[in-house]
A and B are shown apart, each in its own frame.
Chain A
């Protein structure tokens, strides 16, 4: 019989709270939504079985295509930018020592404490093309800023800009990883005459690669699920819904509209499961690629 190693056992103990939550609160609804995804259901009448009809519809729905395009565009910009920026911030934090260190760490994390809806509304003001501070700032350099909130070509870049406000969690994770890079290695490299960039490339980056890999996966998943801020900004009330086209239509926003605006619960459930499968595939690919690029410290002991 295969023996479970103590570490593995402890891992499960720590996972337990989440597992209990999953089983108690989420498993039932997940199964229910899977069942509903094969039906036509409007919350009032009883569900009608339609087979794979809802899934076939997702493949033909032009709005799904638009929503997927917007979501992919956002993810492709948001993930690399946010991680690069968070890494830069973490490197800066790592250089600060003494009493100030705690203060700065707190300040860097503060934006993450702001509710997403508040961030969305705040940025609607900041990004306003006629009166917003972002364009006032650009105006100082003689640049006539774009209409971030109303020009379909600029709405997504504006949303990416907004998403970079909230880097606290990513920064903290990368910062914790940086703190674990053994000083001896860097010092040895310095004695060997390695420059700053070389040390970063050959020592720091490999040593924190597992953390970087983790934040890439998590950021990708959350980017594909982007909802709160965009909904608050562009779909929050009836007037807002009326006045923006599909420029800010993210996948989950469309799913939400189908479910709660048009009451196509079956179709919305199918959309949710498609998203689930897509995210799973993307994550699997990332794990496969990651295994080749990521260095795990424990590897030598594991075998």
Chain B
């Protein structure tokens, strides 16, 4: 595989420098009239450039149309494509960033701490954005140091998705499965698991480690980071205990090496998803997997249940995207109106209605649109989403709605990327049998705390 380019010798170093030197991917402001006037200008003759946002479906297009209708004079340029950190940061560094950026809420803390994005307190008060309508957990993720830095969009909940056939094979009523009883859950996992000749045929219970470690920790009554985002708590005995338990769960079902390779063959979003093909017994998952399955396999024999902590209360680690305004944005006032329009209850309800109509026309099941806006959700799930007649999915809607208020987030942190990497690496080491949970988490704790201290000093 040789590459005959002697000049590539420090290619990445060049890239590093090139980005800082020439600004890399810039976003065109496309505005020649300098219409960045203050509030009250109505945005006339102005323009808006977005980044990280696409128009894949009616949820996106209906809301963009709503903005265009409300502000017909604003020229909207949507640079479609997923959020790309390098493109974003180089655009900010070049002094020519887009006006508004769409990204995962877990990133907000580190960008806010670095000054890559602007505080939005003025915007929120000027445009009277109804921040109280957002779910508390989404609010928490959109703030840093007490200031608003983002306006939240979706609200993804984690639920327990059960393959009824696997549960029945194990002699258990799927609806009775309860994640608060860890011993029973471990036994059930082994019963639902199926291995033949060293090959995994069905992964009994997929605990989604290491990604869902914050949820497992919470289920065991522990937080992995202090509320102010400054103190890592990765070596908390309860965190270690949760990792130890989930790790043993994986070990008893064939070991992570094999199971991981097995899960890499899954396509959750197609008709051959692991539930339709009986390759998974149960798993913890975000609700959008259920939503996709409703579209592809409406008759799948599944049960969706809340994840419960060891006391029997629902736990739910929520996430989603948000809008932010980069430092140096040319039209922050227009961006502010954009964020308000995209996330307001009325816009969401219109979008959810369009989704419901479309799925109905196609004869598909619709489990609704789960927004970060409580008010919107209340209307969507009382007026827009109607029972589909597919009991599994109709029940799923009730379950997801019931766990929304239990939503929690890992507090925003200035070193979110390093912090996350630290516990994920530790989780991997445990799953692969390289380290004992206590050792792995002790090391992760040191790394994480050091990164946080460096980022916040």
Contacts and interface: CB of A to CB of B under 8 A. Distances in A.
Interface of A: 18, 21-22, 26, 28-33, 36-37, 41-45, 78, 82, 116, 124, 128-132, 144, 147, 149-152, 163, 165-167, 169-170, 215, 218-219, 221-222, 225, 227, 229, 239, 241-246, 252, 255-256, 259-263, 265, 268-269, 272-273, 275-276, 279
B452 to A, nearest CB: 12
Nearest to A35: B17
B321 to A, nearest CB: 13
B43 to A, nearest CB: 28
A144 B21 CA distance: 52
A33 B265 contact: no
B14 A26 contact: yes
Given A45-B115, A152-B432, A269-B17, A242 B211 contact: yes
Contact of A29 (B3, B6, B18, B258): B18
Contacts of A261: 85, 417, 421
Interface of B: 1-4, 6-21, 85-86, 89-90, 92-93, 114-116, 198-200, 210-211, 256-258, 260-262, 264-265, 327, 417-418, 421, 424-425, 428-429, 432, 434
B10 to A, nearest CB: 5
A262 B417 contact: yes
B89 A43 contact: yes
Contacts of A166: 1
A276 B9 contact: yes
Given A43-B89, A130-B262, A150-B256, A30 B13 contact: yes
B114 A45 contact: yes
Contacts of B262: 130-131
A244 B432 CA distance: 10
Contacts of B92: 43-44
Given A43-B20, A124-B264, A242-B210, 15 more contacts: A29-B18, A44-B92, A44-B327, A116-B1, A147-B258, A147-B260, A166-B1, A169-B2, A169-B4, A218-B2, A222-B8, A225-B3, A225-B9, A259-B16, A272-B12
A287 to B, nearest CB: 14
Contacts of B10: 30, 33, 272-273, 275-276
Given A43-B93, A130-B261, A245-B428, A32 B17 contact: yes
A163 B8 CA distance: 18
A32 B21 contact: yes
Nearest to B115: A44
Contact of B425 (A42, A43, A44, A245): A245
Given A28-B21, A169-B2, A150 B260 contact: yes
Contacts of A78: 1
B114 A42 contact: yes
21 contacts: A29-B15, A30-B14, A44-B89, A44-B92, A44-B93, A149-B260, A149-B264, A150-B261, A165-B1, A222-B2, A225-B9, A229-B1, A242-B424, A243-B211, A255-B13, A269-B13, A269-B17, A272-B12, A275-B10, A276-B9, A279-B9
A243 B210 contact: yes
Nearest to B82: A237
Contacts of A167: 1
B428 A243 contact: yes
Nearest to B418: A262
Contacts of B86: 260
B144 to A, nearest CB: 15
Nearest to A163: B1
Contacts of A222: 1-3, 8
A265 B16 contact: yes
A241 B420 CA distance: 11
A45 B328 CA distance: 13
Contacts of A152: 432, 434
Contacts of B12: 227, 252, 255-256, 259, 268, 272
Contact of B17 (A22, A36, A150): A36
A130 B257 CA distance: 10
Nearest to B89: A43
Contacts of B211: 239, 242-243
